[in-house]
Amino acid sequence: MILGTGTKAFHAGFFRPANMAWLPHPGKKIRDLGGLPESLGRIGSLEIRLATRKKDIRKAQKLRFKVFFEEGGAIADRRSALTRRDICPFDRICDHLLIIDHDAKSRLGRRKPKVVGAYRLLRQEIAEAKGGFYTASEFDIAPLLERHKGKRFLELGRSCVHKDWRSRKTLELMWRGIWTYVRHHRIDVMIGCASFPGANAFSHALALSFLHHHASVSETWHSTALPGRGVPMNMIGAESIDKRRALDALPPLVKGYLRVGARFGEGAVIDRQFGTTDVLVVMPVAEIDPRYVSYFSAAAPMDQVAA
């Protein structure tokens, strides 16, 4: 499907934390959702909603710590290690999609709603006002943005789902929430960073080469890794690639994006802190497979879907 166990995000300029104040009292509403309701849909006990309070974002950070650091082996800084939360300055300016299971149980066996999935969204107008996207620390997306002035970009990042909830239902609900957000804000292009596990790009030679030869962006969407950061993805010649084996070697997140119609930039980047090999995803909304547009726009299979 669309999401994997976890991924990070993007940056298009130097981040300036001084431009932003931290969040207020945990119970106070902190987000203006711009006309969207907090709840964007529901399937059974699972609800997709936008975080509106500091405590909601803290729950997302705790889930990310569990997935990225405890499960994935990322290296925590002192603050994250002490709080057991994946704390990132960009959380202050992003919108946060949450999957909540209302039938989850506490350790005492009592019903206690639990955040089991999270995704971070950053619109271009907010990024430009607050210091840029996250991913310019890895990929040179400034020329890409310049070539497409007038289009609205949305950065997808910090995706994760609790290991006990990694199901088709959870992932479809998450993607329908994203699609509702995209339509409401009239997004033209989604970008993001998808991760391969491990900091050794050569261990993914088959999959990376497949993306290079068969799923690279067109010239108009071309973007590369930053100078000195990139690892070539063209490790195996096109004639030597077994496509079936290559598809099987793709992480679920990358495979899901590929199915929908996403394409990938030039060069991979090693993220030492998270222990991953990252690739740049570019997904113009107009080029998404119409089957998926219809499917994720349909309200019928869901209990509730926001208009």
Domain ranges of the chain: 17-305
Is CATH 2.70.70.10 the classification given to domain 17-305?
no
Where is pLDDT greater, at 183 or 16?
183
66: pLDDT strictly greater than 90: yes
Q: Rounded CA gap, 4 and 163, in Å?
A: 10
pLDDT in tens, 176-223: 999 999 999 999 999 999 999 999 999 999 999 999 999 999 999 999
Overall pTM > 0.95? no
Q: Rounded CA gap, 200 and 71, in Å?
A: 18
Across residues 59-71, what is the average pLDDT?
97
Closest CA to 95 of 127, 135, 136: 127
Q: How confident is the model at residue 22 (pLDDT cuts 50, 70, 90)?
A: very low
pLDDT in tens, 244-297: 999 999 998 899 899 989 999 999 999 999 999 999 999 999 999 888 888 887
Report the pLDDT value the prediction gives residue 240, as an integer from 0 to 100: 97
3-class state of residue 51 by DSSP: coil
- For residues 149 and 233, is the Cβ–Cβ distance under 8 A? no
Q: Rounded CA gap, 211 and 250, in Å?
A: 9
- For residues 146 and 219, is the Cβ–Cβ distance under 8 A? no
Phi, psi of 305 (to 5 degrees): -140, 135
Report the pLDDT value the prediction gives residue 6, as an integer from 0 to 100: 52
Q: Rounded CA gap, 148 and 217, in Å?
A: 14
pLDDT in tens, 92-147: 999 999 999 999 987 777 889 999 999 999 999 999 999 899 888 899 999 999 99
Pairing of strands 276-284, 189-197: antiparallel
Residues 6+ apart with CB under 8 A from 116: 46, 63, 99, 100, 101, 104, 161, 162, 164, 165, 170
Where is pLDDT greater, at 83 or 110?
83
3-class state of residue 140 by DSSP: strand
